[in-house]
């Protein structure tokens, strides 16, 4: 089962041990003759304050920001990697094109440097990070940063309740643990999803015939995964995973919470002793906002009527006769692994292509198109470090026209995404032909770490990169390091002196 609802243009790009930056605007570059200018503002990512005296360099030429944080660098046309550096901050690098006779805007954000390489054998325990007192640590994450489902399944199905969690367990000073332990998950505030969705009324024999093709009992997901249970090793043998957890954004008491947290418990399989516990967000939202255009009364009926009118289908009549449809019956959906029908546009192209000139009424002025369908002014799923650095959805995903164009050209939604390295360089790129969510560290100065740690384990998932604006997302770095940043401190996993950076 492929992962659900990865917003279809890109993985929100990360700098690994450097800070995420605002997207480079402008175009062209490459072989043009003459010179152009790159200019922008450098800010502190935490406060948004412009930073004076920052050196911006391409390795050959450099300049410094003025009192208002502005810089300008004139270079021959071509592609460059600009690095911003300042005392007390982590360096930040970004690829940018210089266009002959034009000015390209590249705004950068810096984060305060950390004293990462401290010999904890020489300092008092009170000054050590929290992980220094642990024998085992657990890194846990949701694969996508936001999953989506529906409040009502009585008319059609776009996406079922579905969520996926990963956990990696390390014994400090020894390394990754993949045997002799049991990893379990549970949601203290979400123990009965059937209280707040009618999904199982139409996807099981609980009350009616299984109209959507699945036959699963209440509180069991379409992959057979329950709301609470034990996790299994993934196909790489590196992390424990639970795929397809049937969550809703509602707590048992009816509170709407799209950022419900799972308690992860790691026990010794033989003795049953608890080795470590942690908490991780499993985000899911039903904020689809179809009512912005299709009306607040009988919204889904209006959608069926519009589909029949524009596509010559009989969805309204089918529903009246007790026949319900998945969108992916006709429109291929890689998220669900369903091929659709020959000659019919895939679901992502059908949605983005048809609506590209129709949605511009979101309550959030920063995301007037994306937040019409994706969660949303209430959910605010774009909440990670990219948000802190001032990026909008379209900076990574492209706008609606760009989405439709790439999909028409053959891009496979959910499976083919822009890569981190295309903006942040080879040092921070994903593994070859692999999405960010599936990539592992492979350029560590310590070769024993290569191929062991998932990128998302240290940096969290797309849309929720550490530091997230949602405090619940930041539980694990707080638990291990006492801060909200990515897992930057060597002593989270190591017990000896580690005078090295994470990435070569």
Q: Which CATH number covers residue 78?
A: 2.60.40.1120
The beta strand positions in 333-445, using DSSP E, are none
Residue 357 lies in a domain: yes
The beta strand positions in 187-335, using DSSP E, are 229-230, 232-233, 240-243, 261-268, 274-281, 284-285, 325-326
**Tokens representing 379?**
């959910």
How far apart are alpha carbons 212 and 201 in whole angstroms? 10
Residue 326 lies in a domain: yes
**Tokens representing 215?**
């036959």
Helix then strand then coil, in percent of the chain rounded to 5, is 20, 20, 55
Residue 44 lies in a domain: yes
pLDDT of residue 504: 72
Among 385, 408, 431, which residue terminates a domain? 408
3-class secondary-structure state, position 328: helix
Residue 344 lies in a domain: yes
pLDDT of residue 420: 81
CB 95 within 8 A of CB 424: yes
Residue 118 lies in a domain: no
How far apart are alpha carbons 244 and 250 in whole angstroms? 17
Which stretches of the chain drop beneath a pLDDT of 50?
1-32, 206-208, 361-363
Among 408, 443, 461, which residue terminates a domain? 408
Residue 174 lies in a domain: no
Residue 84 backbone phi and psi in degrees, to 5: -105, 130
Per residue, the 3-state secondary structure of 234-248, as one string, reads CCCCCCEEEECCCCC
How far apart are alpha carbons 448 and 254 in whole angstroms? 47
pTM of the predicted model as reported, rounded to 2 decimal places: 0.87
Give residue for tokens 């995301």: 367
Its domain, for residue 315, covers 291-408
- Domains in the chain: how many in total? 2
Residue 179 lies in a domain: no
3-class secondary-structure state, position 458: helix
Pairing of strands 284-285, 147-148: parallel
Among 76, 110, 144, which residue terminates a domain? 110
Residue 150 lies in a domain: no
pLDDT of residue 140: 98
3-class secondary-structure state, position 275: strand
Residue 247 backbone phi and psi in degrees, to 5: -85, 155
pLDDT of residue 320: 94
How far apart are alpha carbons 243 and 241 in whole angstroms? 6
pLDDT of residue 307: 97
């Amino acid at each position: 089962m492929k992962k659900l609802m990865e917003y279809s243009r890109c993985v929100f790009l990360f700098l690994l041990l450097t800070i995420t930056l605002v997207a480079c605007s402008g175009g062209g570059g490459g072989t043009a003759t003459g010179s152009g200018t790159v200019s922008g503002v450098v800010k502190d990512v935490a406060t948004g304050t412009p930073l004076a005296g920052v050196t911006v360099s391409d390795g050959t030429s450099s300049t410094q920001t003025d009192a208002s944080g502005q810089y300008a660098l004139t270079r021959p046309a071509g592609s460059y990697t600009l690095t911003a550096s300042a005392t007390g901050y982590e360096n930040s690098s970004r690829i940018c094109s210089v266009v002959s006779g034009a000015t390209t805007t590249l705004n950068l954000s810096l984060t305060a440097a950390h004293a990462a390489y401290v010999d904890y054998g020489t300092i008092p325990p009170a000054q050590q990070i929290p992980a220094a007192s642990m024998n085992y640590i657990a890194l846990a994450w949701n694969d996508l940063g936001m999953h989506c489902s529906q409040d009502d399944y009585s008319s059609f199905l776009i996406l079922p309740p579905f969520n996926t969690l990963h956990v990696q367990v390390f014994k400090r000073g020894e390394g990754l643990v993949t045997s002799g332990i049991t990893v379990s998950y549970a949601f203290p505030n979400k123990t009965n999803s059937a209280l707040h969705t009618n999904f199982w009324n139409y996807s099981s024999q609980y009350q009616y015939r299984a109209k959507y093709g699945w036959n699963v009992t209440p509180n069991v997901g379409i992959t057979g995964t329950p709301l609470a249970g034990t996790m299994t090793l993934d196909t790489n043998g590196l992390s424990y995973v639970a795929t397809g957890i049937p969550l809703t954004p509602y707590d048992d008491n009816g509170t709407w919470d799209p950022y419900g947290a799972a308690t992860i418990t790691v026990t010794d399989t033989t003795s049953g002793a608890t080795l470590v516990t942690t908490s991780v967000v499993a985000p899911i939202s039903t904020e689809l906002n179809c009512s912005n255009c299709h009306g607040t009364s009988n919204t889904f009926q209006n959608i069926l009527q519009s589909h029949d009118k524009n596509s010559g289908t009989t969805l309204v009549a089918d529903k009246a006769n007790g026949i319900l449809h998945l969108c992916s019956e006709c429109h291929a959906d890689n998220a669900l692994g369903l091929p659709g029908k020959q000659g019919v546009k895939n679901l992502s192209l059908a949605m983005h292509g048809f609506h590209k000139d129709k949605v511009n009424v979101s309550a959030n002025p920063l995301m007037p198109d994306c937040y019409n369908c994706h969660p949303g002014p209430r959910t605010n799923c774009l909440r990670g470090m990219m948000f802190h650095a001032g990026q909008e959805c379209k900076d990574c995903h492209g706008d609606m026209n760009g989405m439709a164009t790439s999909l028409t050209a053959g891009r496979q939604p959910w499976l083919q995404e822009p890569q981190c390295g295309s903006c942040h360089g080879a040092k921070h790129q994903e593994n070859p032909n692999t999405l960010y969510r599936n990539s592992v560290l492979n350029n560590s100065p310590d070769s024993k770490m290569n191929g062991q740690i998932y990128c998302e384990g240290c940096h969290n998932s797309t849309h929720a990169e550490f530091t997230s604006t949602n405090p619940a997302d930041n539980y694990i770095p707080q638990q291990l390091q006492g801060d909200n940043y990515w897992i930057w401190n060597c002593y989270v996993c190591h017990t000896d002196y580690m005078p090295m950076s994470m990435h070569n």
